[in-house]
């Protein structure tokens, strides 16, 4: 009974407080004044038999009589500290909270342990934050990772495109926005990846964009009558940067040409919103494709679409080998 009361007294006089503050740090405070001093000393000395632990705790410049109250927590902090020193990348982080390190600090004779974000985690979070500015519609998810660094700069055919990207970024904040690109080329030449790399760079500058696989968007839009049709339609009209990927691959109809594509392009042209296109077709071939529907041939309406595209874009061609394997 006496032993039970003693343990209860120790429990009531020791406390552990955990707090997750706004900086993403989890703090744990201990008040351990009532532990048996001999037991604390032995535990601390046993831990100090390991040179890594000894170097770690004495490097904290905290008095030994304070350190010995926190041996088990300091061992955990030391283990995570050593893991960080031998970091093999965030994906292989062995710490309890990936990307965080259990770190001791002295606070009025009490050691506070915080989960501090490591430099790799900070860097990754910054790199990932911009991706919220980039939306995809039926596009490969890994296209969000497209970068200028990942481009095939050894391909001379890409140099005019890369040059235009630089001019685009330099002039984007001007009162009159630069034009987008109508990028034509063979299947698998990397047209979509190139535009995505530009959009990713613009996303880092807090410019929102969307990359749309156009044939599938039309099918989805048609299926959304009576639900969120207007929401999808307005998004493409008003997003600051838009890519219509693989235009010309859709089954053209009067509705898709005159009620969808035409109004989107007219709005973006009127409001100077940069618009990009990729296609396996030249503009002349696209005009022929847009002119022909199940209702017959209407060259005038197709011509109007092409004129809007010309107003919105600079026409460039990418001649390259198939990089999809």
Q: Are 24 and 66 part of one and the same domain?
A: yes
Q: Which residues contact 181 (CB under 8 A, 6 or more apart)?
A: 161, 164, 195, 276, 277, 313, 314, 315, 316
With pLDDT > 90 as the criterion, what percentage of the chain qualifies? 59
CA nearest to 96, candidates 31, 28, 30: 28
Of the candidates 169, 166, 180, the one whose C-alpha atom is nearest the C-alpha of residue 312 is 180
In this structure, is residue 188 part of a structural domain? yes
The boundaries of the domain holding residue 230 are 126-318
Residue 325 lies in a domain: no
* 324 within some domain: no
Enumerate residues 6+ apart whose C-beta is below 8 A from 310: 182, 283
Residue 33 falls within a domain, yes or no? yes
69 and 198 both lie in a single domain: no
Per-residue confidence band for 16, with pLDDT thresholds at 50, 70 and 90: very low
With respect to residue 55, please indicate whether it lies within any of the assigned structural domains: yes
* 247: CB partners within 8 A, 6+ apart: 214, 277, 278, 279, 281, 286
pLDDT of residue 321: 62
pLDDT grade, residue 320 (50/70/90)?
Answer: low
Q: How many residues are present in the chain? A: 325
> Residue 306: helix, strand or coil by DSSP?
helix
Task: Return d(Cα 20, Cα 9) in angstroms, integer.
Answer: 28
Does residue 151 lie within any of the structural domains? yes
- Is the predicted pLDDT of residue 216 greater than 70, yes or no? yes
User: Which of 117, 134, 156 corresponds to the end of one domain?
Assistant: 117
Smallest CA-to-CA distance from 248 within 222, 217, 277, 279 is with 279
CA–CA dist 53, 74 (Å, integer): 8
240 in the same domain as 303: yes
Q: Has residue 77 been placed in a domain?
A: yes
Question: Which candidate, 221, 288, 195, places its Cα nearest to that of 248?
Answer: 288
Query: Do both 55 and 98 map to the same domain?
Result: yes
DSSP H or E run through 147: none
- The pair of three-digit structure tokens given for residue 13, joined into one six-digit string: 């006089």
Q: Same domain for 111 and 187? A: no
Residue 323 lies in a domain: no
What is the tens place of the pLDDT at every residue in 58-115?
A: 999 999 989 999 999 999 999 999 999 999 998 899 999 999 999 999 988 899 999 9
Same domain, 17 and 98: yes
Q: Which of 66, 94, 117 corresponds to the end of one domain?
A: 117
Same domain, 130 and 148: yes
Residue 62 and residue 256: Cα distance in Å, rounded? 72
For residues 77 and 67, the answer to whether their CB atoms sit within 8 Å is: no
Contact (CB, 8 A) for 194 and 223: no
What pLDDT band is residue 29 in, cutting at 50, 70 and 90? very low
User: Which long-range contacts (C-beta less than 8 Å, at least 24 apart) are formed by 220-229?
Assistant: 220/137, 220/138, 221/260, 222/255
Calpha distance 148→295 (Å, rounded): 44
Same domain, 192 and 220: yes
pLDDT tens, position by position, 244-290: 999 999 989 999 999 999 999 999 999 999 999 999 999 999 999 99
Per the structure, the count of domains in the chain is: 2
Same-domain pairing of 113 and 18: yes
Higher-confidence position of 82 and 25: 82
CATH at residue 208:
3.40.50.300
CB atoms within 10 A of CB 318: 19
d(CA 283, CA 306): 7
Of 99, 117, 135, the domain-final residue: 117
Strand 296-297 to 275-279 pairing:
unpaired
Q: What is the pLDDT of residues 282-318, one digit of tens each?
A: 999 999 999 999 889 999 999 999 999 999 999 999 8
Q: Which residue has the higher pLDDT, 242 or 23?
A: 242
Residues 193 and 278 in one domain: yes
What ranges in 20-70 are assigned the alpha helix state H?
37-48, 51-58, 64-67
Residue 245 contacts residue 213 (beta carbons within 8 Å):
yes
Instruction: Give me the helix-helix angle, 299-312 and 283-291, nearest 10°.
Output: 140
Q: Same domain, yes or no, for 131 and 63?
A: no
Nearest-Å Rg of the Cα atoms of the chain is: 31
Does residue 149 share a domain with residue 98?
no
What is the pTM (predicted TM-score) of this model?
0.67
């Amino acid at each position: 009974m006496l032993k039970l009361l003693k343990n209860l007294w120790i429990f009531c006089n020791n406390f552990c407080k955990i707090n997750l503050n706004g900086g993403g740090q989890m703090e744990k405070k201990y008040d351990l004044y009532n532990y048996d001093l001999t037991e604390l000393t032995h535990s601390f000395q046993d831990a100090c038999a390991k040179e890594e632990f000894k170097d770690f705790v004495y490097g904290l410049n905290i008095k030994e009589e304070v350190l010995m109250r926190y041996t088990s927590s300091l061992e955990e902090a030391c283990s995570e500290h050593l893991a960080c020193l031998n970091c093999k990348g965030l994906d292989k982080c062995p710490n309890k909270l990936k990307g965080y390190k259990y770190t001791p600090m002295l606070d009025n004779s009490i050691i506070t342990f915080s989960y501090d974000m490591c430099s790799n985690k900070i860097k990754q979070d910054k790199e990932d934050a911009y991706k919220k500015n980039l939306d995809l519609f039926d596009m490969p998810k890994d296209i969000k990772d497209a970068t200028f660094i990942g481009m095939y700069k050894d391909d001379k055919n890409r140099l005019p495109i890369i040059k235009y990207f630089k001019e685009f970024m330099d002039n984007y904040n001007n009162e009159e926005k630069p034009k987008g690109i109508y990028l034509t080329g063979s299947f698998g030449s990397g047209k979509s990846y190139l535009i995505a790399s530009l959009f990713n760079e613009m996303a880092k500058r807090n410019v929102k964009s969307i990359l749309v696989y156009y044939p599938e968007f039309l099918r989805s839009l048609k299926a959304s009558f009576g639900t969120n049709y207007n929401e999808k339609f307005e998004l493409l009209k008003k997003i600051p940067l838009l890519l219509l990927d693989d235009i010309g691959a859709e089954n053209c109809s009067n509705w898709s040409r005159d009620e969808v594509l035409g109004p989107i392009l007219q709005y973006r042209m009127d409001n100077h919103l940069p618009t990009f296109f990729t296609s396996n077709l030249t503009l002349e071939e696209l005009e022929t494709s847009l002119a022909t529907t199940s209702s017959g041939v209407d060259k005038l309406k197709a011509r109007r679409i092409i004129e809007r595209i010309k107003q919105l874009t600079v026409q460039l061609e990418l001649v390259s080998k198939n990089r999809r394997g």
